[in-house]
Amino acid sequence: MLPYLTDAEIDGICDGLRQPAAKVRYLRDVLHVPVERKPNGRPLVRRADWERRQPAQAQNDAPARGPKWSKVAA
């Protein structure tokens, strides 16, 4: 297995973002993953950092914010 995430994996994580700087900001500020930059500006993320983050994210994610049907007036 590669020590760094591939560009395709990062593109999948940052789905919808096109600019390398936006991907770096998303990974760093939203997902809280340490990010370096490649010479071409694309993000470089160590696989160990990404995998270390995954279990913590699953425990800390709040459920989706949707209507609270028990609170809706009839």
Q: What is the DSSP letter of 28?
A: I
Q: Bridge-partner residues for 36, per DSSP?
A: 44
Distance CA 74, CA 72 (A): 6
Domain ranges (residues) in the chain:
7-57
Q: Output the pTM of the full model.
A: 0.71
* Cβ–Cβ < 8 Å for 42, 10: yes
Q: What is the pLDDT of residues 9-40, one digit of tens each?
A: 999 999 999 999 999 999 999 999 999 999 99
% of residues, the chain, pLDDT over 70 = 73
